[in-house]
Structure 1
Amino acid sequence: MREGTAPVIHRLDYQAPTYWIATVDLTLDLDPAKTLITSKMAVKRNATQAHGALVLHGEELTPLRVMIDGEPVSFRQDGNLLHIDAPDRDFELVIRNTCCPEKNTALSGLYTSGGGFFTQCEAEGFRRITYFLDRPDVMAVYTVLLRADKAKYPILLSNGNLVEQGDLDGGKHFAKWHDPFPKPSYLFAVVAADLVAREQRVVTRSGKEHLLQVYVRRGDLDKTEHAMNSLIASMIWDEARFKLPLDLERFMIVGVSDFNMGAMENKGLNIFNTSALLCSPATQTDADFQRVEAIVAHEYFHNWTGNRVTCRDWFQLSLKEGLTVFRDREFSMDMAGSPSARAVQRIQQVRNLRTMQFPEDAGTMAHSVRPDSYTEINNFYTATVYEKGAEVVGLYQTLLGREGFAQGMALYFERHDGQAVTCDDFAQAMADANPDSALASRLDAFKRWYSQPGTPQVTARGHYDAAAQTYTLTLTQRNPKAGEGAAPQLIPVRMGLVGAEGHALPLNLAGQASVGALETVLLLEQAEQSFTFTEVSSQPVPSLLRGFSAPVLLDDGLTDAERLTLLRHDADAFNRWEASQRLALRRLLDAVQSGQALELDIGFLDAMRAVLRDPQLDPAFKAEALRLPEAAYIAEQLPVVDPQAIHNAVEAAWDQLALALRDDWAWAFEAHQVEGGYRPTAEDAGRRALANLALALLVRGSAMLADPVWPGKAYQQVKDATNMTERFGALSALVQAHAGLADAALTHFHEQFAHDALVVDKWFMLQARTAERDGKVFERVKKLLQHPDFTLKNPNRARSLLVQFCNLNPGAFHRTDAGGYVLWADQVAALDAINPQVAARLARAMDRWSTLAEPFRSAAQEALKRLSERPTLSNDVREIVTKALEA
């Protein structure tokens, strides 16, 4: 549907369908130009709804025949809807239609890629395969018969268990699959391609044997070991932690290079973007290994949180996505092992939240975790639904503890297995399983996390009474995005008190039993509350929001001296990192707001040196603590944003850190080399992360001093490194420093890995994300658009250049001559004609245009207007641009 004709869909308008579909027998005769689909459905009358016509969804389909109980019936097409006069009873419906997979560049529904057939049906892709009640509350049992050319498509896969397979006349073959579990159409999947598989048989705790298979194109099989190991670890963890076993005879994962998402949790047949599946030390980094492990786990965990219990409607999307992100986070932290490694995982989660979700909360596409309306559901696969949704699920565990949370999960499945439900159902199960908890008595207040958009702002101020030995902490909260008169949210604040000498002080909260704990959770549920601690022997430093116990913006009012105390002594590793970030943030904001050049003081530099040299800190933690805050997070602190001022301040800070700590970086690089073969362990990855950071700063400093030594070492590492983490780290160091050898290193890297699409994506991404200097990055990006390896048709390639540049490189994208905005508008339009979902992601680069300083603001508005005037925009892009212009 084009030209802005799509209606706005409202959550409160939900009505159950007039009919249900109990079973679906699908036959697909696969052909790239004309696939024939025959769908036989057992349609059940919904006695609770008034009788009316059966209206099915269908897009880019050619209907051939419609029959009810074996007799042909008439039908009427109205745009993307098929109207059938149906009897007021149960009946069998048969529909025959065709579609054209090879023309499906949107990669939604059934499409071709690399000579094979693949599907993506979430959110509304099934309607591009056959006519159906394509909504998540319609759950059916599917039997699927696939027929195709055996030589071209030797592997035929669908959901569930393989029932039968064999040869047919004319060089064709067939496979019949049956999924015994009712599922919504968005979980349907088909794959037909020339693939090879890594296989593993495992026995679960229940004694059942299962076949695990990871399918990829020929030549990639050696990159699937990590994915298989991650799948097995996920199965073991889910059964141990939540008593949730695998429920099918087999579990399959398939990799495809043309895919709009990271991966998809289709029941028993997960389809993955190869970027989220393939791993080899020679071609993927430590971060890639970690990402693959997390995404494999995420999709496997969906088998229960999303598949066995699914969403009633798309407004409940976070019911499955937020919950499953929380589960994959818990898994990743458990896999990390040590407390320090777990803390680093949490730091990375929060850094991502602040970079991606906080700006979304403050921008034109701001919405609650459970939105109230949408035009295009694809636009709501957002950081708010996923990442903030996961934080909200984490609040349950904070309030209930691990055991209480597990009890809530058990009750949730006991009540709702096989159903399509709501976020309210999940909340009620958590409360009912823990009737004496703080959650149960505050459930209505807690659920405001689902309904109120925006990031709550918490202010904390403390007063110490030395004579009375009391410390009073006053917390206030406000959320401007939630609207005038919005009720306060329930905010758990995990905290402790740190003495001036660095020791933890016992917590005795007035009015409660004095237990002398060193940590507690305060419940902020009013606009303002005060908490008084007694028997506080010395002036304390409050350590607030430990572990980032709630997704809020915190103004704690601490001085540099107090932050240094936390940086050196806080028992909470997350808050030690937070102290380093706040120390840097204050200096960066001072420079941006004053308009003066940044000059880092000796106190800050000494603090960073102390972190780097501290033998008690793990290298991975040091690498995080020594990184400056992201530009997006800095921008969130400002009412009016000058991207160039932020860029200049950050670059100046890195320059000064590079020069002032030059000897320390050299020590860190040499001391943290990893000996022996590659292992993607948290310990080795941490050492490589710190060594790479040190190398980047050493090359930067050398480039400033015209010293060829460290650029030369980095170039040698690009050529000689035995793993991609070190090779790409050295290449990044040269490119980000604009060092003299950067172009030669880029050329060498591309020549070495030109055959590997995922590595070439990294090559594009690095150049798109490089900090701007004298317009060189912008000019390079324009040239890369014409590179023979660049194409808009592959989502990974489009994202690697355009999304990285426009959405994630503000210093280069926001130009005073508006060149970045012109490029953005042109590329959004070009991409929209091919793949609206990816175009919509690119369009989000302008979410916060109205906060920009001039001349950026007016130029951005002009680019938005120019794009909005195009008559052929997809609903995906039009919704984003329209909302942006309403700001």
Structure 2
Amino acid sequence: MDRADAAVKTDPSTIFLKDYTPPTHLIDTIELTVRLNDDVTTVSSRLVGRRNPASGSGPADLYLDGEDQELVSLTLDGRTLEKGDWRQKPEGIVVPGIAGDFTLEVEGRIKPQDNTRLEGLYKAGGMYCTQCEAEGFRRITYFPDRPDVMAVYTVRIEADKARYPVLLSNGNRIETGDLEEGRHYAVWHDPFRKPAYLFAMVAGDLMVDRDSFTTRSGREVALEIYVEPGNEGRTGHAMDSLKRSMAWDEEVYGFEYDLDIFMIVAVSSFNMGAMENKGLNIFNDKFILADLSTATDADFQRIEAIVAHEYFHNWTGNRITCRDWFQLSLKEGLTVFRDQEFSADTHDRGVKRVGDVRLLRAAQFPEDGGPTAHPVRPDSYIEINNFYTVTVYEKGAEVVRMIHSLLGAEAYRKGIDLYVERHDGQAVTCDDFVAAMQDASGIDLTRFKRWYAQAGTPRVSADWRYDEAARTLTLDLAQTTDPTPGQPDKQPVVIPLRTALIGENGQRLPLTVDGEESGDETVLVLDEAERRVTFSDVPKGAVPSLLRGFSAPVKLDAAWSDADLGFLAATDDDPFSRWEALQTLATRAILAMVEAKRAGRPMSLDAAVVSAVRDGLEDARLEPAFLAELLALPGESMLGQAMDVWHVDAVHEAREDAIWTLGDTLFDTWLALYDRLSGETAADDLSTAAMGRRALRNRALQFLVSSGRPEGLARAAAQVQAAASMTDVMSALAALNDTDCPERTEALQAFHDRWQDNPLVLDKWFTLEASSALPGTLDRVKELQSHPRFDPKNPNRIRALVGGFTMGNPVRFHASDGSGYAFLADEVLRIDQLNPQIASRLCQPLVRWRRFDGERAKAMTGALRRIVEQPTLSKDVFEIASKGLS
């Protein structure tokens, strides 16, 4: 199909959850043959199916989804269908009047080499690869491409043996052999029913790292990680992460792997991070390839988490899958929660929780507060690819975490067991998951389900008063949620608030809550608009510690004084609450500096923040990894969210001044800390403790450089040259990146020259250049688009350079002249012609124009209008841009 013919010229149709109907027919087995050729690839399928009794009886039309392919022939029960025997639809075909069992054979032709969308079967870098979630299989062959149609797949792949010696698909390999003219084949069989979105195949000249894992029942599973030549030797960490994930899933959930082989393929052109296809995970290579010279500690931890996430999908996503795409969080929210817990068990739980909250607040809260806000289970969409969002994933994980908190660990595990017992091998809904949790625990979760249906971030207010004579502390709680698109009126949701009282000695106090003893920590459930709680026998000076562990995804407005926050930042034993106290104190202080700046008054960082940072530095009880998090000031985007109108330039200047103050005032302390930690950890030590020491040392370096003193710049320049780990190199470069000095210029050039032939490391350099707050960065980004190693079609390169500027450089992207917005609109329109998924994700920053002043808002909406008016706009981008203007 011609690209222009496929483009959306009018308002695309909206798909609604309320309109769901079961499929008219089910497919029990599919035999798929894919003959790969340089010019045209032939795909033949044999579908054995039947009428679905859940949708009725008697003859019904069978709808087969299909896009961007040439249909060669259709055969029904041995009879070749002529043109009049079936009907063409805009995105598929209809075979009418099928009443009972049937066998349908389909033959078509596709051109993977022309598939720049990277959906379905595509060729990139000399390798054939698939990405079928959400609706990519229809770009391979005609099929009912919906998750509630689950079949057993047998796949035969044929290709040139010399050029594509490795032929992979789902399940177990059951046959291989040679063919004429130097070709060969492989046959794969997956015994487990799965929807089309989990189909996968790869063909290429690949290297493999092999290992094995013995399950708790004694089965040996072959493990294989395939990479492109030249990348062998960089898979050890991914393989180790996989084996630990398998062991953790058995121990914590009782889930044992079920095939004879588990494979991962790392590819360099991929729209997503990774894909959990049954038995054959396909990964963006940046989330597999790592060694000490090229990967940072954050890279190693990210690889570990993503490998775990995709493996965990084997049960929560593959064995039990979604009935429809509105239920996406059924698998993603649950599996994100599982991978978060795996990482927390593996590393520092408090640091992990802080990191999760940072992501949620930086990305999901703005989504909840903007025109693209949607529930964890959306009610409608135009393009499902737009709903792979932080709301579905990360907020969905928080919803599962709240269920875990409300039920307790034991009842939660019983709920998981019941969920699997009821639904293994089925395509189900979020309601089915909650029902299993409710039935296993006996706890009514009817009202809790509002979290799945209601968009927006609840705001909880907390105020309290202390009665010294009665020794009571009365806590008043209230919740509200702002209107979101399509949901003007909000109902109260069930909010679990982990709560403690911290006494003057810094210890948790025993609690008596509304007359009942509750240990020294309790979960207060706020399920109405308001609730009053009375704590008895409370000594004077107690300070409430609220929302401990970030027990619910809400915004908390608590009546803490600055003194209360300083006290909690120094004493609270809950890591999140201690971090949150210092973040809140710093946010108040920096926003006060913003107001001073706008009023023409001198800016000055409140001494309470300096004192709190000094107290943290002097607290020997704190682990280095947590201390590094504790000492990080809130970012510009987080500060902007705390304002009714984000005053971009003033926020940037105030935050920079605050960092300078801390760096200069505590310079000697930072220097002593940096020097003390410099020799304590070997570069090849990837233990949690070693990573923490590096993180704290590099936090100190950031403040040393921010002071502007020559000693700080010299330390950073020396670290770039001498560091044995990529973590230390990148940290030093990041510390220098916003300073216009020879040390920065020389260090960046040397880094580029060393790593220009390594795409993944070069992406780090692109991002550094794009995220610098120095003037002229946009011109530098445009210049780098002509860099000989910048591939304008590769998603990783686009994310590194364009995304690094638009999402990682607020002060330059939001330039008052609107140049950043015009640049992004140009890029969205250019990329949309090649890869609508990537284009629609890049478009997101423009839809948040309501957070900005009038001139910026005008420029952002102008950019959105220019995008929407493009006559060949994809529905992916149309949905985001049009909602942004609504």
Same fold (TM over 0.5): yes
1:378 to 351, 374, 385: 385
CA distance, structure 1, for counterparts of residue 823 and residue 91 of structure 2: 33
1:607 to 612, 625, 647: 612
2:317 to 302, 306, 317: 306
1:792 and 2:792 are equivalent in the alignment:
yes
1:157 to 155, 162, 168: 168
Output one character per residue of 1:589-625: Cα deviation in whole Å (capped at 9) or x when no partner. Answer: 2233452553112232121112123211111111111
Q: Tell me the C-alpha RMSD between the 2 structures.
A: 1.3
Deviates more, 1:37-46 or 1:668-677: 668-677
CA distance, structure 2, for counterparts of residue 698 and residue 395 of structure 1: 40
Give 2:16's aligned residue. 10
Partner amino acid, structure 1, of 2:512: N
1:188 to 195, 199, 217: 199
CA distance, structure 2, for counterparts of residue 720 and residue 737 of structure 1: 20
Give 1:684's aligned residue. 690
2:635 to 630, 637, 641: 630
1:82 and 2:93 are equivalent in the alignment:
yes
CA distance, structure 2, for counterparts of residue 14 and residue 551 of structure 1: 29
Give 1:476's aligned residue. 478
Partner amino acid, structure 2, of 1:504: R
1:675 to 673, 681, 693: 681
CA distance, structure 1, for counterparts of residue 520 and residue 249 of structure 2: 32
Give 1:390's aligned residue. 397
1:53 and 2:61 are equivalent in the alignment:
yes
Query: Deviation at 1:193?
Result: 0.5
1:559 to 558, 561, 568: 561
Residue aligned with 2:315, SS: coil
1:271 to 282, 285, 294: 282
Partner amino acid, structure 1, of 2:494: L
The question of whether the paired residues in 2 share the 8 Å contact of 1:285 and 1:724 is answered with: yes
Output one character per residue of 1:403-449: Cα deviation in whole Å (capped at 9) or x when no partner. Answer: 111111000000000000000000000010001xxxx23x1210000
Query: Deviation at 1:82?
Result: 1.0
Give 1:133's aligned residue. 144
CA distance, structure 2, for counterparts of residue 675 and residue 714 of structure 1: 18
1:548 to 550, 553, 559: 550
1:642 and 2:647 are equivalent in the alignment:
yes
The question of whether the paired residues in 1 share the 8 Å contact of 2:681 and 2:694 is answered with: no
The question of whether the paired residues in 2 share the 8 Å contact of 1:644 and 1:811 is answered with: yes
2:305 to 289, 294, 297: 294
Output one character per residue of 1:339-364: Cα deviation in whole Å (capped at 9) or x when no partner. Answer: xx210010011011100111111011
Give 1:444's aligned residue. 446
Gaps spanning 5+ residues in structure 1: where? none
Query: Deviation at 1:5?
Result: 4.8
Residue aligned with 1:303, SS: coil
Residues 37-48 of structure 1 correspond to what in structure 2 (within 5 A)?
A: 37-48=43-54
Query: Deviation at 1:484?
Result: 4.5
Residues 32-431 of structure 1 correspond to what in structure 2 (within 5 A)?
A: 32-50=38-56, 51-74=59-82, 75-336=86-347, 341-431=348-438
Output one character per residue of 1:162-214: Cα deviation in whole Å (capped at 9) or x when no partner. Answer: 10111111111110000000000000000000001111122111011110001
CA distance, structure 2, for counterparts of residue 487 and residue 792 of structure 1: 46
Give 1:721's aligned residue. 723
Partner amino acid, structure 1, of 2:504: A
Gaps spanning 5+ residues in structure 2: where? 1-5
Give 2:807's aligned residue. 807
Give 2:582's aligned residue. 580
Give 1:457's aligned residue. 459
Give 1:828's aligned residue. 828
The question of whether the paired residues in 2 share the 8 Å contact of 1:215 and 1:253 is answered with: yes
Output one character per residue of 1:831-867: Cα deviation in whole Å (capped at 9) or x when no partner. Answer: 1111100111100011211221121111111111111
CA distance, structure 2, for counterparts of residue 807 and residue 636 of structure 1: 14
Partner amino acid, structure 2, of 1:104: N
CA distance, structure 2, for counterparts of residue 459 and residue 466 of structure 1: 23
Query: Deviation at 1:645?
Result: 2.1
The question of whether the paired residues in 2 share the 8 Å contact of 1:118 and 1:190 is answered with: yes
The question of whether the paired residues in 1 share the 8 Å contact of 2:589 and 2:609 is answered with: no
Output one character per residue of 1:443-484: Cα deviation in whole Å (capped at 9) or x when no partner. Answer: 121000001100000000011101001111010000013544
CA distance, structure 2, for counterparts of residue 610 and residue 511 of structure 1: 37
Query: Deviation at 1:248?
Result: 0.2
CA distance, structure 2, for counterparts of residue 138 and residue 675 of structure 1: 53
Residues 740-759 of structure 1 correspond to what in structure 2 (within 5 A)?
A: 740-759=742-761
Partner amino acid, structure 1, of 2:872: T
Residues 727-876 of structure 1 correspond to what in structure 2 (within 5 A)?
A: 727-770=729-772, 772-773=773-774, 775-876=775-876
Query: Deviation at 1:668?
Result: 1.6
Query: Deviation at 1:677?
Result: 4.4
The question of whether the paired residues in 2 share the 8 Å contact of 1:28 and 1:146 is answered with: yes
The question of whether the paired residues in 2 share the 8 Å contact of 1:4 and 1:874 is answered with: no
Deviates more, 1:67-76 or 1:90-99: 67-76
The question of whether the paired residues in 2 share the 8 Å contact of 1:469 and 1:534 is answered with: yes
The question of whether the paired residues in 1 share the 8 Å contact of 2:483 and 2:489 is answered with: no
CA distance, structure 2, for counterparts of residue 215 and residue 85 of structure 1: 43
The question of whether the paired residues in 2 share the 8 Å contact of 1:4 and 1:873 is answered with: no
Query: Deviation at 1:679?
Result: 1.8
Partner amino acid, structure 2, of 1:836: P
Deviates more, 1:689-698 or 1:411-420: 689-698
Q: 1:479 to 1:788 in 2, by over 3 A?
A: same
CA distance, structure 1, for counterparts of residue 683 and residue 665 of structure 2: 34
User: Would you say how many aligned residue pairs link Structure 1 and Structure 2?
Assistant: 869
CA distance, structure 1, for counterparts of residue 238 and residue 159 of structure 2: 29
Task: Give TM-score scaled by structure 2 length.
Answer: 0.97
Partner amino acid, structure 1, of 2:34: L
Partner amino acid, structure 2, of 1:518: D
The question of whether the paired residues in 2 share the 8 Å contact of 1:767 and 1:781 is answered with: yes
